[in-house]
Each structure stands twice: as C-alpha cells, then as structure tokens.
Amino acid sequence: MSQSPAFATALSRGLRGRCPHCGDGRMFQTYLKVNPTCPACGVDLARYPADDGPAYFTMLIVGHMVIVPLLFIPWVWQGPPAVVIPVALVFLTAVTLSFLPWVKGAFIGHMAYLRATADRTPGHTADEA
C-alpha cells in the first residue's frame, strides 16, 4: 500500500481531478467515473468508494454558497414565477453539475489522506457490488 499524501496535497490534487497520490494521473475516466487505477503511478483508485458523499457535499456547498445569496436578489422574489423558477432550476443544475467533479475529486483525495478504503477482502459485500 502506498503512503498517504498530506492533507492539502491530496485535497488540491483531487480538486484538479488528479490522482491524490502522484498528482500526475487523471482521476476520472469520464465525467464522474473514477479510473480503477492511476494511469501514471498505478495506485488502486477504486479502493476509495466515494458513494453518496460527493453528492451530499455538493448539495451542501451549492445550497449555502449559491442558493442563499440568490435569495438576496430581488428579482428572485419579485419576478414572475413562470420565468424565475425555470431560470433558477437551469442555473442551479448547471452550477451543481459543474461543482460535482471537483467535490468528488476532493472527497476522494480526502479519503486517500485518511486511508479510508473499502474492505476488499474476499467475501466482503463491497467486492460483490
């Protein structure tokens, strides 16, 4: 097992979508699909099961840093709901989907720092998923 990276290093590498261990290999194969192994250093990235954590933190961040300030814009309250609601939903969807890869990368980087890995021993239910 490779050594755990420092907290800030793992977090910043994850935010950039890079392997938390080497910082060179890409963490994601596609939009949110994590590479099973780092293409640069070969570390097993699949052992960090992020599950619903990134979605939870993305909603937390968007809810507090985007939705709350949005409520201070008078147009949100005074504009016609038939316009405000679709515009707000499209905007919030775009912001949420753009934050998600960064948050997932940072989450996996934090898991690498904590060495929070899935139990991959034979017979464990995580291997069957």
Phi-psi map region of 52: left, alpha, beta (phi>0 left; psi -120 to 50 alpha): alpha
Nearer to Zn ion, 21 or 47 (CB): 21
**What count of other Cβ atoms lies within 10 Å of the Cβ of residue 77?**
9
Q: Quote the least distance from Cβ 36 to Zn ion, whole Å.
A: 12
Residue 6 CB, nearest approach to Zn ion (Å): 15
Q: Measured from the CB atom, is 38 or 106 closer to Zn ion?
A: 38
State the nearest-atom distance from the C-beta of 86 to Zn ion, in Å. 42
- Judged by the rule CB under 5 A, the positions of this chain that interact with Zn ion are 19, 21-22, 25, 38, 40-41
Residue 92 host element (H or E): helix 81-114
Task: Give the bridge partners for 44, in sequence order.
Answer: 37
